[in-house]
Amino acid sequence: MIILGTINEFMNGGGMMSVYWGFAIGGSAIFAITAISALFGLGGAESGDVDVDMDGEIDIVHPDSGIFDFKLISFRSILAFIAMFGWGGVVFGEHGWKGFGVAIACGLVTMVITAYLIMSILKLQQSGTRANASLIGQKGTVYLAIPAGGRGKVILDLGDSTREIAAFSEVALEKGAPVVTTALKAEVFTVKPI
């Protein structure tokens, strides 16, 4: 009974209010820092450009995306819980255990809303890549000379983007020669001069 009385005294006294204020100010400060850094592209692993020269395709999974697209537990949703738990406690903490329950509810609601917003934003993303089969019939320019019966590189102009592909040709093609893709076999395109 002494322990329960001490906990009740802590919940109803100023001790718990200090905890609420700590969570509110700390969570809000960290949230503001992460929001500003994301806004200006300083988000570390989640931001930045990657320049890779390779053939083939690659799928990249966003750190806040889950198997079912709705991931309740993420850095941002936990941060939202901490901040809103703190502010809920600051506002309702004078009511003891009931205020604690309301603070938990505020944090959980904000956590779910944050996870839903992240899921909705991630659904707006596009990969920006086209399937290799859709590149047959596209025009391009030889980038790396192709010897007769050999391989080289071709840059395809896709209108809104360009793509470098591995190419094979029956005839010799010099750098800068205009070509068109005619077939695809084992990730290598067959090209012919235009």
Domain boundaries, the chain: 2-122, 132-193
The whole-number pLDDT of residue 4 equals 65
Q: Which residues, at least 6 apart from 111, have a Cβ–Cβ distance to it below 8 Å?
A: 72, 77, 78, 80, 81, 84
Residue 71 pLDDT > 80, yes or no? no
Q: What is the pLDDT of residues 173-184, one digit of tens each?
A: 999 999 999 999
In the numeric block, which tokens belong to residue 42? 């300083």
Query: Any idea what the Cα angle at residue 180 is, between residues 174 and 185, rounded to 5°?
Result: 95
State the average pLDDT over residues 144-153.
94
State the average pLDDT over residues 99-126.
87
What is the model's pTM?
A: 0.49
Query: Any idea what the Cα angle at residue 155 is, between residues 150 and 160, rounded to 5°?
Result: 155
Measure the CA–CA gap between 93 and 6, rounded to whole angstroms.
17
Average pLDDT, the chain: 81
State the average pLDDT over residues 1-25.
75
Q: What is the bridge-based pairing of β-strands 188-193 and 178-185?
A: antiparallel
Which CATH superfamily includes the segment(s) 132-193? Answer: Nucleic acid-binding proteins (2.40.50.140)
